[in-house]
A = this chain, B = another copy of it.
Amino acid sequence: MHDDQEVAVLRLGHRPGRDERMTTHVGLTARALGADRVLFPDNAGQSLETVADITDRFGGPFEVELTDSPNAVIRGWDGRVVHLTMYGERIQDVEGDIRSAHRDEGEPLLLVVGSEKVAFDVYEAADWNVGVTNQPHSEVAGLAVFLDRLFEGRELEREWVGADRRVIPMETGKRVEPADGNGETDENEETGGDGETGGDGETDDNGPESA
């Protein structure tokens, strides 16, 4: 993010159909919460398209790519590797070291997020195996909390480049303006598009601004 060294997110494993929304949400969460890039397995082309489309409309910089060898990405990473897993060390115990490696030592970070069973190789290749709690929950939730803590909230102040629209924070209702600020307003759900934090960018009624 900004002038920091790169933070990339690698999604391990993707079962087309079953994992489409989770993989898409991993990508959109990475983008919204300050990562620079997400890498999906090469059978996740549909999720890639959704994330690229959101980036076109809501801005970047953010890259989304497919890889045919996630393991090679891990092995070849020039920086530190963090694997998010419920079996790992407690985030509150290791986040300071990780932040220091990234911010002070200038190490690019690769955040590995599992889906199906993760091979033991990944645990061994990681510089840190980190648990956002040691409870089973959601890879999307784990990634979100990790990024918010890594950046200590600075990601919430990020400015977006190349957007064609911008959501204006409101106490009540919805307001979307062209990113150049010419003032198209859109203050209720009849005329406004959808896109709750529940929006997942898919082109249906749950997608942002599909109206």
Contact across chains for A138 and B28 when beta carbons are under 8 A apart: yes
Question: Assembly of this chain: how many copies?
Answer: 2
A126-173 residues with Cβ-Cβ distance < 8 A to B are 126, 129, 131-145, 148-149, 153, 155-157, 160, 166-173
Report the count of interface residues on A (CB-CB < 8 A).
82
Of all chain B residues, which has the CB nearest A167?
B134
Stretch at the interface among A73-81, A102-110, A115-123: A115-123
Q: Which residues of A contact B (CB under 8 A)?
A: 12-13, 18, 21-22, 25, 28-29, 31-33, 54, 58, 84-93, 113-120, 123-124, 126, 129, 131-145, 148-149, 153, 155-157, 160, 166-175, 188-190, 194-201, 205-208
Q: Interface centre among A89, A126, A173, by most B CB within 10 Å?
A: A173
Supposing A92-B156, A144-B144, A144-B145 touch, asked if A196 and B139 sit within 8 A by C-beta, the answer is yes
